[in-house]
Structure 1
Amino acid sequence: MSIESFNSELEFDASRVKTKVIIETSFSKEIRILLSKGQIMKEHKTPFPILIHILEGEIMLGVNGTIHNMRSGEIIALDGNVPHDLTAKENSIVRLSLSKHDKVERLKDVLES
């Protein structure tokens, strides 16, 4: 058993999106994404289903070319291989739930390219 927090050590960085694996379980990887206002995660996709949960703030989530305004408390499930992108309308804390079979390095590759 492990108890962790998505709300500790919050340090937004205007020069880059920050990610941190908060907890890894037998079935998922729970990742915190800190997006400063205006930051973008370009279009990408994952081979496995994901959950995107807005813990704080507001983002524009593009899914297959349709923009969804998502606010604090909202959550969306996406199947694998669905193109999506994120743009922060304000400083935002996003919880990303990845399959245990997915690789965190893939997320880092999206941010660095």
Structure 2
Amino acid sequence: MKIESFNENLEFNENRVTTKVLIETSFSKEIRILLKEGQMMKEHKAPFPIIVHLLDGQIDFGVVGVTHPLKTGDVITLDANVPHDLMALKDSIVRLTISKLDRSERVEKVVADS
């Protein structure tokens, strides 16, 4: 058992999106993504299905060129290999659930390339 908080010890970075793996289980990795207003993650794909849960803030979540406005509490799921991007309209806390088979380094590379 492990207890973590997505809402504590927040360290937003003025210059780039930040990510942190908070929990790794036998089936998933739970990653916290912090985006300051105006920060984005460029279009990318995940090799396995993902779940994106907006814990706080407001983002535009683009899926294959269609923008879906998300507000605090919204959850969106995507199948594998679906192009998507994120733009923070307000400072935002995102919970990203990825497959245990996926690599958190892939998410960090997306951030670095954005």
Q: Normalized against structure 2, the TM-score is what? A: 0.98
Structural mapping, 1:52-67, within 5 Å = 52-67=52-67
Displaced runs of 4 or more, over 2 A:
none
Structure 1 counterpart of 2:83: 83
Structure 2 counterpart of 1:25: 25
Structure 2 counterpart of 1:4: 4
Render the CA deviation track for 1:5-47: whole Å, top value 9, x for unaligned. 1011111111010100010001000000000000010000011
Distance 2:8 2:19 in 1: 13
Q: Normalized against structure 1, the TM-score is what? A: 0.98
Q: CA deviation at 1:92?
A: 0.1
Render the CA deviation track for 1:59-111: whole Å, top value 9, x for unaligned. 00000110000000000110000000000000000000000000001011111
Gaps of 5+ in 1: none
Structure 1 counterpart of 2:38: 38
Structural RMSD (CA): 0.5
The number of residues matched between the two structures is 113
AA aligned to 2:106 is R
Worse overlay, 28-37 or 6-15 = 6-15
Structural mapping, 1:68-107, within 5 Å = 68-107=68-107
AA aligned to 2:51 is L
